Amino acid sequence: MTDALQRMNTELEVDDTDQTKLAEADDATAVMTSRERQLAVSHWLLCAAPDMGLARVQWAERGITILACGGILSAVRVPASMVWAAAGTSQFDEVDVYLAQKLHGGPVFMDMHAHYYYALVPGHTSLRWRGLPGVACFGRDTILGVPAVTRLDPTGRSYWCVPMDSPGELCNPADVVTLIQQAQASQRVGGVLL
């Protein structure tokens, strides 16, 4: 096992001293630590990897890996300029809060080199997607570079603006369309899309 993979496993590892047990609340709800959530989310995301072992190593060594779209997830790619227009700012922390509110906590990551945001949506979304100018929905036969779940700061190639809160918890496609329409309206000047 490489040093980077061992570090990632250590970051995500849950031991008895860190693990939160069942809360003794009236509703007896289980409480999870953020590390437990990251571990559960990373396992779920790895189900979309063509090679789970290689994907885990790539996350550990490079902070990014390739996942296949169209199965458990699809992704809607939105240019950063559109998102920034809708948010009224290009400040990462403010945009992250805006996205979390508009997409009701649905997972979004940003490719900081290419200046695209990716909203993760259910895998079937691409089958029903209607084209929107400047936006793409990736489904079957598409692979996507996805950051490690531990990448939460706007550094490096990509990071989670809105981390996935629980395994399988994705953006509602209707919320993504509404966000895109608001972004397009924000970019219109005199009826022309900038």
Q: If we measure between CA atoms, which residue out of 45, 79, 18 comes closest to residue 148?
A: 45
Give the C-alpha separation, 108 to 37, whole Å.
16
Query: Residue 2 — very low, low, confident or very high, per pLDDT cuts 50/70/90?
Result: low
- Predicted local confidence at residue 130, as pLDDT: 83
pLDDT tens digits, one per residue of 69-88: 999 999 999 999 999 999 99
Domain ranges of the chain: 3-189
If you compute the radius of gyration of the chain from its CA atoms, what whole number of angstroms results?
18
Q: Provide the residue type at 38 as one letter.
A: Q
- Predicted local confidence at residue 3, as pLDDT: 59
Helix (H) or strand (E) run with residue 41 in it = helix 34-46
Q: Strand, coil or helix: what is 118?
A: strand
Please state the pTM of the whole predicted model. 0.83
Q: If we measure between CA atoms, which residue out of 171, 188, 156 comes closest to residue 73?
A: 171
- Predicted local confidence at residue 16, as pLDDT: 39
- Alpha-carbon distances of 35 from 18, 19, 25, 26, 38, rounded to whole Å: 9, 9, 22, 25, 5
- Predicted local confidence at residue 175, as pLDDT: 97
Question: Could you please report the per-residue DSSP string of 136-166?
Answer: EEE-TT-EEEEE-TT--SS-SSEEEEE---S
Task: Look over the chain and give the mean of its residue pLDDT values, rounded to a whole number.
Answer: 85
- Predicted local confidence at residue 186, as pLDDT: 83
Cα atoms found within 13 Å of the Cα of residue 87, Cβ hemisphere only: 22
Is residue 57 predicted with pLDDT exceeding 60? Answer: yes
- Predicted local confidence at residue 144, as pLDDT: 96
- Predicted local confidence at residue 133, as pLDDT: 85
pLDDT tens digits, one per residue of 139-192: 999 999 999 999 999 998 999 999 999 999 999 999 999 999 999 888 775 444
Give the C-alpha separation, 20 to 30, whole Å.
8
pLDDT tens digits, one per residue of 116-129: 999 999 999 988 88
Is residue 101 predicted with pLDDT exceeding 90? Answer: yes
Cα atoms found within 13 Å of the Cα of residue 54, Cβ hemisphere only: 7
- Predicted local confidence at residue 56, as pLDDT: 96
Q: Are 101 and 161 in contact (CB under 8 A)?
A: no
pLDDT tens digits, one per residue of 3-25: 554 555 555 544 433 333 333 33
